[in-house]
Structure 1
Amino acid sequence: MAPNASSRTLFTLAATVALTLSGLAAAPVGQAVTADPIGLNAPYEYLGWGSPQKPTDVMNATGVKQFTLAFMLSDGTCNPKWDGSRALTGGADQSAINAIRAAGGDVVVSFGGWSGNKLGEKCSSASALAAAYQKVINAYGLKAIDIDIENTEIASSTARQREISALKIIKTNNPGIKEYVTIGTTTTGPDAAGTDLIRKGAAAGLALDGWTIMPFDFGGHNGSMGSVSTAAADGLKNTVASAYGYDSATAYRHIGISSMNGKTDESDETVSTSDFTTMLNYAKAHHLARFTFWSVNRDRQCPSGTPAGDSCSGISQSAYAFTKIIASYHG
């Protein structure tokens, strides 16, 4: 006999409570449960650079609940260390992660970046690279990782394939983990190396959660940084759709934007809060997998006479203006 409306309501409520309690019981000790998928709206903070703010102060000021912490690098071998030099665990980085989680947040660890020794190049095989990633995942009970593939690593076909194969191993061995890959872009979408990386991922059957572009340092562009960034994201969507055979809506849900705030490395590029709002509206309209930026360190006005750099944006702004916009994205 079919239950009546009242019975259905009670059954649904009981099931929801049971699932919630079950999920809380299964959560690792010290690991926070956040409302948004880990990585969805996690701005970058570099704890070893750019006069980093205390993450819990950022949380209190902005409402942001998650961070993408950069960068995990090679110590010169196939061994991960923060910035290639600071101990994986037991130091200030771990203390920051513990504090973020104690305050109800969580973290994504980002591997790579432009500078330093990359694990993707120092590890000689996909299995060794996967083992290096797994070491970090295990150390922090991570639910998401970001692989920021730039410079010589993205330029190497061998390194590109090694990264894809390693990420496939991680996906297999860590059910439910979210994987994001971050790459540079042209004004119309990924360049040849980025396109090849995406095609390699599709060919390997890598169910990546978010292919993410960094829409800045274009070397020349027309229009506002908001409009050129969304145009580049459309190009990424088309590349992902073509490689994976996704329809447009599905492809959008597998891409992301990682912008930069204020003045970038190019003299003709200034990313304003208005540009961020354009990107936010685009992300909401298409339900992007990820909307983030580089970086919290720079999300403040420079002292008078100081140019944009590691620890300030180079524009007139209120503190954390960009982080607050990121924090408002919920898919």
Structure 2
Amino acid sequence: MSGVTPASPSTVMPAASGPHAGKRLSPLRVSIAVGAIAALSLGTFVAVQSFDSAHADTVSPWFAGYVDVTATPTYAFETPAQPADQDVVLSFVVASTDDPCVPTWGTAYTLDGASKDLDLDRRLARLRQAGGDAVVSFGGQRNDELASGCTDPAALQSAYASVIDRYELSTIDLDIEGSALSDSAAGERRATAIAALQQARRDKGDDLAVWLTLPVAPSGLTEEATDTVAQMLDAGVDLAGINVMTMNYGSSRGTESMADASIDALKATHRQLDALYSQADIELSDATLWSKIGATPMAGQNDVKGDVFGLADASALNAFAQQQGLGRMSLWSLNRDATCGPNYVDLKRVSDACSGIDQGDQTFAGLLSAGFAGHPDLSASSVTTPDADQPVVDDPATSPYPIWAAESSYLKGTKIVWHGNVYQAKWWTRGDTPDDPVLNEWETPWTLVGPVLPGEKPYQALTLPAGTYPDWAGASVYDKDDRVLFDGVPYESKWWNQGASPEAASADPDSSPWVPLTDDEISELLATPAA
């Protein structure tokens, strides 16, 4: 995601303390917090969704749209047009072009300059008086994130702290993309500084939730992105979550809708986070991992001309996010969440002030925020605690397919049950545990199909009437492509054999000379009238 830099940057001014002596809660925010606590005490879902871990119990799924602070025309985030707009992610704080250890807004305004020329501090105070709040995002695509150029560890930590203290933040967002992703040294500096800063604040009793915002494809995070997550975990940062930019897919989307591509991206990210936390010796449940994932689509026309995220995509993505229990939903950006005016002719050219599609009376923020009734500051106190899933014990009597066994071989297409889920083999496999966490989908031979459904019964192979093929006989010789029946199930010979029972095909399909006909083949035979 990128911001627009004004043509006439503000004059750099001396540093000064912010105007806020302390963040005050409005009556609206207090009532929300009390309602959330009441919801938890009743065990119901109102504004807070509880999961099965210490982390997820304190997570209140929230929505906050990004606001490009330096874009023209200025977006009035301080006067929310609807409840969905009351929490915002202000972007982007980046390194000054004169001194990489000095934080600026889009290189155009120092913190003091933004207060003077944009009235940013006063506008933020007004937003909070109305019950809203702000997260600040560091980085973005266009300019240098602080760690990219500031190599002095103390100065880097101080730069982050100056922004957090001035705007009295409980949650920050680190948007790492472009060249910043491949800068490993900067990643190490960033992780070390954020870990120290987070620990120092927690030691004083202050909250600091840290979100990483990263680009994603339908296949998941890139290796550079997973390395960035690993750097943070290795440094000891307690990540509130990973917010993936579900946008700008290009050719990686294929023929999928933007919503389906985004859902694939979120599922892949969940798998990758499982592996990353496992590598860091932090075992988390599926629910906790979902609560550590956020999604940020780009309203309407994306930077890639063929990618248009529509209102139906927003509804579908939100439904999936609610179902899985994502911890965060965002939008790029509130500046763009409106139909373009009649003077904006080229709708394929991305505007900073409109979406490029006809939204009617709907907004992306309104659609995406459904079910995300929490607020960032209500979740900022969450501390990640290991809480590995208790594996489901599979029951053969309620499993629609054979239960996976380490000693068995499985051909491509074979379905099995493991820990309450159905998996399908992508290629021949033996000894590969279906639910082992992996960073990349190609590392596992198994595809997760979905959970075992209530009331399912063991799979019963289709049979053919007696006489359709000869019954198998141990003394008979069989050539390639010969077919037989064994307990009514048809098998086909893969090569010459004698005395090899088809019964062994299920336990060792690779070595067996017999392969059972597929259900589709059997169904076709049953539907074909007898000659």
TM-score category (smaller protein): 0.7 to 0.9
Q: How many Å apart are 1:320 and its aligned residue?
A: 6.2
Once residues 134 and 221 of structure 2 are traced to their aligned partners in structure 1, the CA distance between those partners, rounded to angstroms, is 27
**Structure with more of its chain in helix, by fraction:** 1
Q: How many Å apart are 1:48 and its aligned residue?
A: 1.1
Once residues 286 and 162 of structure 1 are traced to their aligned partners in structure 2, the CA distance between those partners, rounded to angstroms, is 33
Q: Which residue of 2 aligns with 1:13?
A: none
Offset from partner CA, 1:110-138 (integer Å, 9 cap, x none): 11101123212121044432221100111
8 Å contact 1:39–1:108 — kept in the other structure?
no
Q: How many Å apart are 1:81 and its aligned residue?
A: 1.6
Q: Which residue of 1 aligns with 2:373?
A: 330
Once residues 147 and 303 of structure 1 are traced to their aligned partners in structure 2, the CA distance between those partners, rounded to angstroms, is 33
Deviates more, 1:221-230 or 1:87-96: 87-96
Unmatched segments (≥5 aa) in structure 1: 1-26
**Paired-residue identity, %:** 26
| Gap change, CA 1:297 and 1:29, over 3 Å in 2 | closer
1:68 and 2:95 equivalent? no
Once residues 135 and 316 of structure 1 are traced to their aligned partners in structure 2, the CA distance between those partners, rounded to angstroms, is 41
Q: Which residue of 1 aligns with 2:107?
A: 84
| Gap change, CA 1:319 and 1:157, over 3 Å in 2 | farther
Offset from partner CA, 1:217-244 (integer Å, 9 cap, x none): 1221131111110110111111111111
1:309 and 2:309 equivalent? no
Once the two structures are superposed, the pairs formed by residues 137-156 of structure 1 within 5 Å of their partners are 137-156=164-183
Q: Which residue of 2 aligns with 1:172?
A: 199
Q: Which residue of 2 aligns with 1:204?
A: 235
Q: Which residue of 1 aligns with 2:51?
A: none
Deviates more, 1:133-142 or 1:304-313: 304-313
1:49 and 2:71 equivalent? yes
8 Å contact 2:61–2:373 — kept in the other structure?
no
8 Å contact 2:241–2:293 — kept in the other structure?
yes
Q: Which residue of 1 aligns with 2:383?
A: none
Once residues 319 and 296 of structure 1 are traced to their aligned partners in structure 2, the CA distance between those partners, rounded to angstroms, is 15
| Gap change, CA 1:29 and 1:250, over 3 Å in 2 | closer
Once the two structures are superposed, the pairs formed by residues 176-195 of structure 1 within 5 Å of their partners are 176-195=207-226
Offset from partner CA, 1:1-33 (integer Å, 9 cap, x none): xxxxxxxxxxxxxxxxxxxxxxxxxx9344554
Once residues 260 and 116 of structure 1 are traced to their aligned partners in structure 2, the CA distance between those partners, rounded to angstroms, is 19
Once the two structures are superposed, the pairs formed by residues 97-246 of structure 1 within 5 Å of their partners are 97-175=124-202, 176-220=207-251, 221-222=253-254, 223-245=256-278, 246=284
Once residues 258 and 84 of structure 2 are traced to their aligned partners in structure 1, the CA distance between those partners, rounded to angstroms, is 25
1:289 and 2:327 equivalent? yes
SS in 2 for 1:60: coil
* Bigger relative contact order, structure 1 or 2 (CA pairs below 8 A, ≥6 apart): 1
Once residues 368 and 156 of structure 2 are traced to their aligned partners in structure 1, the CA distance between those partners, rounded to angstroms, is 31
Q: How many Å apart are 1:306 and its aligned residue?
A: 4.0
Deviates more, 1:281-290 or 1:108-117: 281-290
Q: Which residue of 2 aligns with 1:96?
A: 123
Q: How many residues are aligned here?
A: 304
| Gap change, CA 1:99 and 1:252, over 3 Å in 2 | same
Q: Which residue of 1 aligns with 2:515?
A: none
For the pair shown, the structure with the greater C-alpha radius of gyration is: 2
| Gap change, CA 1:65 and 1:103, over 3 Å in 2 | same
Aligned-CA RMSD value: 2.1
8 Å contact 1:74–1:117 — kept in the other structure?
yes
Q: How many Å apart are 1:50 and its aligned residue?
A: 4.1
Once residues 38 and 130 of structure 1 are traced to their aligned partners in structure 2, the CA distance between those partners, rounded to angstroms, is 28
Once the two structures are superposed, the pairs formed by residues 22-41 of structure 1 within 5 Å of their partners are 28-30=22-24, 33=29, 35=32, 40-41=62-63
| Paired letter, 1:234 | K
Once residues 144 and 287 of structure 1 are traced to their aligned partners in structure 2, the CA distance between those partners, rounded to angstroms, is 20
TM value normalised by structure 1: 0.85
Once residues 164 and 103 of structure 1 are traced to their aligned partners in structure 2, the CA distance between those partners, rounded to angstroms, is 34
Q: How many Å apart are 1:98 and its aligned residue?
A: 1.4
| Gap change, CA 1:38 and 1:82, over 3 Å in 2 | farther
Unmatched segments (≥5 aa) in structure 2: 1-20, 33-46, 48-58, 279-283, 375-531
8 Å contact 1:302–1:315 — kept in the other structure?
yes
| Paired letter, 1:294 | W
| Paired letter, 1:119 | L
Once residues 67 and 283 of structure 1 are traced to their aligned partners in structure 2, the CA distance between those partners, rounded to angstroms, is 19
| Paired letter, 2:111 | L
| Gap change, CA 1:29 and 1:69, over 3 Å in 2 | closer
